[in-house]
Structure 1
Amino acid sequence: MTTMTRMTRMTRIEEAGRGVRQVIGTVGGQNLILALAIVAVAALFGTIDPGYLALSNIRVIGDAVTIVGLLAVVQTVVIICGALDISVGSATGVASVVSAMTFMATGRDPLLGMGTALGAGLLLGLVNGVIIVYGRVNPVIATLATLSAYRGLAQLLSGGAAQGYVLGDDLFIFVSRGSVLAIPTMVWILVAVALAVHVLLKYTDIGRNLYAIGGNDTAARLAGIDINKYLIAVYALSGIVAALAGIILTARIGSGHPTSGSVALELKAITAAALGGCALKGGKGGVGGTLLAVVLLGALENGLTFHGISTFWQNVAQGALLVIAVVIQQRRSGERPVGLPT
């Protein structure tokens, strides 16, 4: 082999290496890992039972991840801002009840039912924001309190029982069972919300300010950013998206229910955001990674259910994934582990 040939091969290898690094830089190392994990999960369960990869089951996964996906996307915004919203699952339950009860009380008007639910979600989000900003309460404590309060509110409004029946209405049927271009309506709703949030975070001053607040709130305040206004707005957005998830939940179940389908949604949303690369201290994260994590969790949960694994073990797996995500973040940050010597 001549020297020229060796140099040519080394040049090609270097170019290939640069190409790989560019792809990783564009996609993101964490996103690439999540994508590979999705492929691995699909390959594993598909090998065990080819029915797992059937189009009908893929559609089931798509339907199942929609509600969690919506909450995870808006949780990403909250976490980037350096906060947390543990009440989103309960807010979803309130919106579900309100949408169905208003639908029945207004002569089966779906637009009034959905509009009232979105208004209720906005109000619940504003309450969270006001408590945190003006009550000067830690976001975790504040939303932990409203988690319980909103769940109780949903039960009070409904008497603890399912309310109404919406599957006789064309609009609710379209939301729960319709499709556009062979893709379920619910998935389109998730894509639309995720795309809007992505544009907000990446291409607007609002998004840059949210990252600044989460990265260093003192510097953001000195730069003239009204942190209180942004926090209240972020929680209002969280409430609206939680209400949208509640409307979809009502359409899927067929009635408004205070707890069914909304319990533990907040944990799933936080897990997806953390797995997707959101730093729980704020200032880092994105919608793309969150959506990949949502798909991974949905594929894993569906695969375990598909093969008859107990939901108890699914909960164990979900909790373990959250711990793993936080440990990885801690190691990458380079900070000294709490309670251990340097």
Structure 2
Amino acid sequence: MSGHFRLTQETIVALAALVLFVFFSATLDNFLSSANIVTLIRNVAVLGMLSLGMAIVVIGRGVDLSLVAMMAVSLTLAIVLANRGYPFPVALLAGLAFVVAVAIVLGFLIAYVEIPAIFATLAVSAIIYGLGRGVIANLDVNNLPARLDWFIFLGRGSVLGIPLPIWMFAAASLLAHLFLRRTGLGRFIYAIGDNVSTAGISGIPVRPVIILQYVLSGLMAFLAGAVTAASVASMNMRVVNSTMIYDVLLVVILGGIGLSGGRGGVRNVLVGTLLIGLLLNGMTIMDVSYTVQNLIKSTVLLGALVVDALLNPRDEQTSQQGDI
């Protein structure tokens, strides 16, 4: 029965995206312009990469509210180091090492100290942002050093007429899909999301796998940050205080990945990303004020949470566990 429901939610979201696309194409002057489509795709790619990271964690019945802070601060660190004279590949590796180190600490707090994920990730997000703004950089916006054409190409280039960020999102989606569906570790994440006690009894190394989820989520955040920085030749840390993390949650829940864990996959992320990307782009062109955009998004998020609660009721074991 639930399989039927899963399909239904996904199909409804895909149809809603199609209706929105047709509606915006017919009513908005600049919607179908090539410049706007490229902007939409680039924005959707970054949102999609972050959502893939969130999806992996949510399938394992966690949540990662530190994604956007990880993305912004890791790339800010790389840019600051590059501006101080370090070779850019070395600076990028430092940013990557930062993400992995923070993700391991975060996973440890959730898996071993057993702090609920929502609180652990919220606290770590605030700490990372504080580090970024108070220790790593003096400015909110940090610009890339000159002569990094190869890196800028990641954000602005295209191959076969398709912007490179889309290729990167497609590759990340494929890798995430293969990981979740074709590897033992991927199956472990589903098993933990489905029932953590049973997973432990059946010999799955629950705690290390939980840490792995957050590391993978951090890597997706780093990739999204690289594409963002390459697109605009800078990184703006103010994005941490934006509603981006809610957009990511919206994609995941709306796409049909149940918050109770153990369900959903990359396809859900793709339909959710498409719908939210179109919605955000259309509202921007219509010049809907930021406050009203947030009102609409929050209402949609609440609706998605209600649907999720109805379709994926929290079983007794889930409610005892809380959100791991």
2:35 to 26, 50, 56: 56
1:144-178 Cα shifts (integer Å, max 9, x gaps):
11111111111021124323434631122201210
Closer, same or farther: CA 111–287 of 1 in aligned 2, 3 Å: same
Alignment match, 1:133: 111
Report if aligned partners of 1:30, 1:289 keep a CA contact under 8 Å in 2. Answer: no
Say yes or no: does 1:72 pair with 2:51. Answer: yes
Which secondary structure does the structure 2 equivalent of 1:163 belong to? strand
Q: How does 1:302-341 map to 2 (within 5 A)?
A: 302-333=281-312
1:199 to 178, 185, 200: 178
Alignment match, 1:212: 191
| Partner AA of 1:159 in structure 2 | N
Say yes or no: does 1:146 pair with 2:121. Answer: no
Which secondary structure does the structure 2 equivalent of 1:256 belong to? strand
Report if aligned partners of 1:92, 1:243 keep a CA contact under 8 Å in 2. Answer: yes
Say yes or no: does 1:97 pair with 2:76. Answer: yes
CA distance in 2, matches of 1:267, 1:334: 22
Which secondary structure does the structure 2 equivalent of 1:320 belong to? helix
For structure 1, which runs of at least 5 residues remain unmatched after alignment? 1-23
CA distance in 1, matches of 2:171, 2:306: 32
Per the TM alignment, residue 117 of structure 1 is displaced from its structure 2 partner at its CA by: 1.5
| Partner AA of 1:170 in structure 2 | D
Alignment match, 2:89: 111
Closer, same or farther: CA 136–273 of 1 in aligned 2, 3 Å: same
Report if aligned partners of 1:75, 1:85 keep a CA contact under 8 Å in 2. Answer: yes
Say yes or no: does 1:252 pair with 2:214. Answer: no
Say yes or no: does 1:83 pair with 2:83. Answer: no
CA distance in 2, matches of 1:180, 1:166: 25
CA distance in 2, matches of 1:239, 1:103: 21
Report if aligned partners of 1:121, 1:241 keep a CA contact under 8 Å in 2. Answer: no
Report if aligned partners of 2:60, 2:210 keep a CA contact under 8 Å in 1. Answer: yes
Alignment match, 1:243: 222
**Is 49-58 or 202-211 further displaced after alignment?**
49-58
> What is the root-mean-square deviation in Å for CA atoms of aligned residues?
2.1
Q: How does 1:211-230 map to 2 (within 5 A)?
A: 211-230=190-209
TM-score between the two structures when normalised by the length of structure 2 = 0.90
Report if aligned partners of 1:97, 1:163 keep a CA contact under 8 Å in 2. Answer: yes
Which secondary structure does the structure 2 equivalent of 1:106 belong to? coil
Alignment match, 2:137: 158
Report if aligned partners of 2:260, 2:313 keep a CA contact under 8 Å in 1. Answer: no
Closer, same or farther: CA 50–162 of 1 in aligned 2, 3 Å: closer
CA distance in 2, matches of 1:247, 1:98: 12
Question: Which of structures 1 and 2 has the bigger CA Rg?
Answer: 1
CA distance in 2, matches of 1:32, 1:333: 17
CA distance in 2, matches of 1:293, 1:283: 18
Per the TM alignment, residue 212 of structure 1 is displaced from its structure 2 partner at its CA by: 0.7
CA distance in 2, matches of 1:63, 1:325: 25
Per the TM alignment, residue 255 of structure 1 is displaced from its structure 2 partner at its CA by: 2.1
Closer, same or farther: CA 284–103 of 1 in aligned 2, 3 Å: same
Report if aligned partners of 2:13, 2:271 keep a CA contact under 8 Å in 1. Answer: yes
| Partner AA of 2:227 in structure 1 | I
Per the TM alignment, residue 334 of structure 1 is displaced from its structure 2 partner at its CA by: 5.1
Matched residue pairs, number? 312
Alignment match, 2:18: 39
Report if aligned partners of 1:221, 1:227 keep a CA contact under 8 Å in 2. Answer: yes
Identity of matched residues, %? 28
TM-score between the two structures when normalised by the length of structure 1 = 0.86
Alignment match, 1:286: 265
Per the TM alignment, residue 127 of structure 1 is displaced from its structure 2 partner at its CA by: 1.5
Closer, same or farther: CA 75–85 of 1 in aligned 2, 3 Å: same
| Partner AA of 1:186 in structure 2 | P
| Partner AA of 1:75 in structure 2 | M
Which contiguous aligned blocks of 4+ residues in structure 1 show a shift greater than 4 angstroms?
Answer: none
1:96-140 Cα shifts (integer Å, max 9, x gaps):
211211222235x33223222211111111111111122221111
CA distance in 2, matches of 1:279, 1:152: 32
CA distance in 2, matches of 1:172, 1:244: 12
Alignment match, 1:298: 277
Closer, same or farther: CA 48–117 of 1 in aligned 2, 3 Å: same
For structure 2, which runs of at least 5 residues remain unmatched after alignment? 320-324
| Partner AA of 1:239 in structure 2 | G
